[in-house]
Structure 1
């Protein structure tokens, strides 16, 4: 009994007599654990030198980095492809499973904070010898029963912070894994957009090759008639046939690339290789705005940078966990139960048993094991630090590369457009001059060959400009990843179980709408 401001406070009438004793012994030890020291360095974010502005920043940059940027292409088919990929892509699902894995590891690690409680019950029936070294007294039955229910608890006291440091590291690993999933989403969206743009570019190149081959086929027919009437020489006919076959040879190559690109895009959509639906022509796809931002924003917007920082935090915490191995490992344990030869008397006072104790384990000589673990943790912490700093610099490089590529490729595209127009005039006039007898057919071949190559190059540059927009949005990261992340977790249909929804998704057919080229 103890006094209080409100009068005496009595222990519960039915509390076992040993309870106050156990409490008086455990409370000081628990208080010691709660006020224990914490070894190892506390995390401090590294001083990262980043420029105030981007070197190749443009005055046309707008604050759109946090928007669903792919919708700026104004291509509904691309929007649907990205939505399908976010919902079904296997890499995203693997990344999500890894989050569950590391969340479970956090739970496992921090469980050491709490008492490990177990219960047991033993029952036996046995007979002892009546003529052994200690003979039984007359009248005592040599056969007897033994019953013993017990409740035990063990608590490791985290006096030197090993468990806390390991939990800190596990939480940082979990945060890095979550950022890894966001990085997977960022990469997936960029890959789908880039693949679709490249696919439409190949479609356009195929159209150019087919149109050129058809035009040259007409020329071959004309030259064949002229040769049969002695108007042109066999050399001119052979030249015409050669250019036709050259154009014809590019068609299967482009068709092969289209098929391979469709297969690659199908895998991103988590479906078997097959045709991909098409929407707008390449030149009809709208150009998005150039996203604005400052280099320091990358530290909080790019998942790979956030993941690298969390890896550094984890390795920093593991230094403290390794250093704690030098110090004693303290634990307390307790047991309460009863033991009786008669089952009906197990809950009576005389049958009660209890014990409480503590243990200290202090390493004395480990042959350099602990020192090696400390050095290993410190080396990994340095590795994680320099990996983080290197990741920051590479992120800045990727943004700068995308900005300069976007600026210069747009100028290149304009110049190539003027070149195509000029070569079209050149080819038309060369054909007229040849028909009028003012020049040889070689001039016509040169003009048409140059026009064909220029048209293909111009189409490839159109694709490159759009792809550089994709690369820039990927390099800058942004809040759009959060929106895309929500798209990866569709809610099950009303009335359907989660299992049914998963089965429906796993067996979902390919995207509706057969591919049209």
Structure 2
């Protein structure tokens, strides 16, 4: 019998070794092949380590981002979730200590033809569960991973907030640029209409041409109103992000914005360090791992020590006054034998959820790689389009100059000069759009790479 008991305890001890094993980072070979394009030269700026203050150098924008970090509702809620997780972790750490409670009792009793008997117990009770098979250890580690999830979520909200504020700010700058170009376009069409009316009086144009020119001018006037509406709506949206009442946003101009000429996305492994959503997914995987360990520990016995100490005026059948000390101690062991399959089912569920968390973590890596590649292509393509558009503007500027010279020294009329100017204004609108697309590529790269070390700097 003694040998059987020893073998039983040895098997329990060996089987419970895995319960205390800490979570280990899974081997993800897919990380090395996330980027389709090779990393640029070593002397380029790596967005994976660049903070938003270094990337967005516009003073006005920096003031808006700082205001948003202080006031944004979603970010403040994320901060509160971190505090909640910290409180849960503290609770799981205190679970190792015994629980104490004061349980005073008093009674009155009386029988026929007898005096009233008064008794009391003034005792402090204590319960202490021994963590022999890792139940509380895994609960504490699981609470720690929940805290890591909350911190990663806070960082994700802050990174998204910074990217959204920057995108809204640069959208305003683009709309301002388009509004200025559209106003010059409207002035050009007004001059065009005046020339067409003059040509009609001279018999060199028709009423249809005048009406078509006037319709084009009215279309540009309507677009001016649409742009003004978009600017107002964007200012209102940005004010909401900043946690302030709708108001005009003080800002710079699009042509004053500057960014590094070259970027490096770093190595794919840095995504694990800086992408908050990946950190959150891995924390969820670690939590699932510890929940599985908790489900395993449910198969092993739990040992609880209990005791009480206090003062009483009753001891057995004899009543004494003054009172006497009351002391008691109890040790209990509970070994699950049959729980209608609940423990087995809980373990199977926990294992399945751990596999789900692993797949979700792997997919988050693939999604991160896709976002980085897409943002990199967007930035590079926009830069190439911008160079072509700037070359087009140079050519159209030559066309305008030549048409003006030809009008002075030949029979070319002013209408052709206006047409050349109109083409130049349209090209300038294209340049503004391409410039904004290039900036959006930078913002998307910043966001896709995890927003640098923003949490460390705030």
SS of 2:118's equivalent in the other structure is strand
What TM-score results when the alignment is normalised by the length of structure 2?
0.86
Match of 1:39 in 2: 19
Q: Shift of the alpha carbon at 1:412?
A: 0.9
- The corresponding residue for 1:248 is 221
Q: CA deviation at 1:213?
A: 0.7
Q: Deviations over 1:212-232 (max 9, x none)?
A: 012211221332344345442
> Does the aligned pair in 2 maintain the 1:40–1:319 contact within 8 Å?
no
**Is 1:345 aligned to residue 325 of structure 2?**
no
- Identify the match of residue 39 of structure 2 among 49, 57, 60: 57
Equivalent residue number for residue 129 of structure 1: 112
| Secondary structure class of the residue paired with 1:345 | strand
**1:209, distance to aligned residue in structure 2 (A):** 0.8
**Aligned length, in residue pairs:** 436
Contact (CA 8 Å) 2:52, 2:452: kept in 1 or not?
Answer: no
Number of the residue aligned with 1:288: 260
For residues 251 and 452 of structure 2, the distance between their equivalents in structure 1, rounded to whole angstroms, comes to 28
Secondary structure of residue in 1 paired with 2:313: coil
Deviations 1:211-254 (A, max 9, x none): 10122112213323443454421122122112212212211222
Q: Which residue of structure 1 lines up, in the alignment, with residue 156 of structure 2?
A: 183
* SS of corresponding position for 1:164: helix
Q: 1:81 to 1:329 in 2, by over 3 A?
A: same
In structure 2, list runs of 5 or more residues that go unmatched.
1-11
The answer to whether the aligner puts 1:223 opposite 2:223 as a matched pair is no
Q: CA deviation at 1:404?
A: 2.5
Deviation (angstroms), 1:257: 1.8
SS in 2 for 1:39: helix
TM-score, structure 1 normalization: 0.77
Matches within 5 A, 1:55-454: 55-59=37-41, 61-63=44-46, 65-130=48-113, 141-279=114-252, 281-288=253-260, 290-291=263-264, 293-340=266-313, 345-346=322-323, 351-426=324-399, 447=420, 450-454=423-427
Cα distance per residue 1:65-109 (max 9 Å; x no partner): 434344444311011111111111111111110011111122233
SS in 2 for 1:241: helix
Tell me the CA shift for residue 482 of structure 1. Answer: 3.0
Bigger mean CA offset, 241-250 vs 51-60? 51-60
In 1, distance between residues paired with 2:191 and 2:370?
51
**Whole-Å Cα distance in 1 between the matches of residues 17 and 52 of structure 2?**
49
Conserved? CA contact 2:139–2:291, under 8 Å: yes
In 1, Cα distance between the equivalents of 2:406 and 2:220? 23
Q: Using the alignment, how far apart are the partners of 1:373 and 1:445 within structure 2?
A: 78
CA distance in 1, matches of 2:220, 2:121: 92
Instruction: For 1:199 and 1:343, locate their aligned partners in 2 and report how far apart those are by CA, in whole Å.
Output: 87
The answer as to whether partners of 2:47 and 2:449 remain within 8 angstroms in 1 is no
For each residue in 1:138-187, what CA deviation from the matched residue of structure 2 results, as whole angstroms up to 9, or x when unmatched? Answer: xxx52122121101001122232122112111111111211211122111
Equivalent-residue separation in structure 2 for 1:64 and 1:301 (angstroms)? 10
Contact 1:187 1:474 in 2 (8 A): yes
Tell me if structure 1 keeps the 8 A contact 2:105–2:120: yes
Q: In the TM superposition, what whole-angstrom CA distance separates every residue of 1:245-284 from its partner, at most 9, and x where no partner exists? A: 22122112222221221122112211122211112x1011
CA apart distance, 1:112 = 2.7
* Secondary structure of 2:329's aligned partner: strand
Output the CA distance in 2 between the equivalents of 1:129 and 1:220: 119
Deviates more, 1:265-274 or 1:426-435: 426-435
Q: Give the SS at the match of 2:298.
A: helix
After superposition, the Cα gap between the structure-2 partners of 1:110 and 1:183, relative to the gap in structure 1 and judged at 3 Å, is same
Q: Secondary structure at the match of 1:326?
A: coil
Give the Cα–Cα distance (whole angstroms) in 2 for the partners of residues 369 and 310 of structure 1: 26
Deviation at residue 328 of structure 1 after TM alignment: 2.8
Q: How has the CA–CA distance of structure 1 residues 56 and 454 changed in structure 2, closer, same or farther, with 3 Å as cutoff?
A: farther
Could you tell which deviates more after superposition, 303-312 or 398-407? 398-407
Q: What is the root-mean-square deviation of aligned Cα atoms in Å?
A: 2.9
Asked if the contact 2:199/2:205 (under 8 Å) is kept, the reply is: yes
Separation in structure 2 between the aligned mates of residue 84 and residue 326 of structure 1, nearest angstrom: 53
